[in-house]
Amino acid sequence: MLNWLRQLLGGRNARSTPIPDALWQATLAAYPFLADRPPADLQQLRALVGEFLAQKEFSGAHGLLVSDEMAVAIAAQACLPVLHLGLDWYSDFVGIVVHPGQMLARRETQDASGVVHRYSEVLAGEAMDRGPVTLSWQDVASAGEQAGQGYNVVIHEFVHKIDMKNGVPDGCPPLGSRAAHAAWHAVMQPAYDAFREQVTIAERFGGQPPWLDAYGATAPAEFFAVACEAYFVNRARFTQDFAALTPLFDQFFRINRAAAL
């Protein structure tokens, strides 16, 4: 597992891991949405991925061996949201667990009457508060092909980590003031409400289904994560449906809009 990475890191004292050029170019080729950025951003992303790999620990579930290619692919996608924010946003965890495919999670909830309900949920990934991130390699590997649909499980789960930075995820990342929070919600809430209505009409009355993953209609936190997936991997298509969200995300993620277009 991680032959090149393990040799370089040794006792994990390295602050950054230089990525071999062939490995980096192969990653960009496999995930074109990564390569579709200004040269300066790509250089910065490559350096940030090296820091990320020096800080995090990968493990495979069910006998999966996490290769160098897999680790770099995950790291590159995880670093997109914090490219201009820094890795401190991911400081609350170390572990990244990679499953061969989607996983079955057992859930337990208690309703208002005190009745406990147990059920199973199929997941492509999961981010735990102050805990590891779990990912389906099957979904990660197909991210290049699924960018057209705005789907990316790595970005989804790592945006949850950003959202969790100030506690329970609520669809609003930590911001500097109450005014900033109010401004955020003034844009996000109408977009979320309209999206939920579109999903409801599609599911109940046979209306036009949304382009964005309908899972985003389940909660504000999921809408934020799903929207960010599309924003980072298919900005042009995302902006067609969510023109108000693109400048909001540009501001938070510190994206130079002129360079990103």
* Cα angle value 163/168/170 (rounded, 5°): 60
Name residue 86's beta-bridge partners: none
The reported pTM is 0.89
d(CA 182, CA 164): 18
d(CA 191, CA 242): 7
Specify the 3-state DSSP secondary structure of 105: strand
Query: By CB neighbour count within 10 A (0-12 exposed, 13-18 middle, 19+ buried), where does 142 fall?
Result: middle
pLDDT in the model for residue 134: 96
Tens place of pLDDT for every residue, the chain, 261 residues? Answer: 456 666 555 545 567 778 999 999 999 999 999 999 999 999 999 999 999 999 999 999 999 999 999 999 999 999 999 999 999 999 999 999 999 987 766 645 555 665 554 544 667 889 998 899 999 999 999 999 999 999 999 999 999 999 999 888 999 999 989 999 999 999 999 999 999 999 999 999 999 999 999 999 999 999 999 999 999 999 999 999 999 999 999 999 998 754 444
Classify the C-alpha dihedral 235-91-38-252 as positive or negative.
positive
pLDDT in the model for residue 125: 87
Provide φ and ψ at 177, rounded to 5°: -160, 170
- Domains, the chain, in order of start with CATH, read 3-260 (3.40.390.10)
pLDDT in the model for residue 161: 97
Spatial contact of 161 and 132, defined as CB atoms under 8 Å apart: no
pLDDT in the model for residue 101: 85
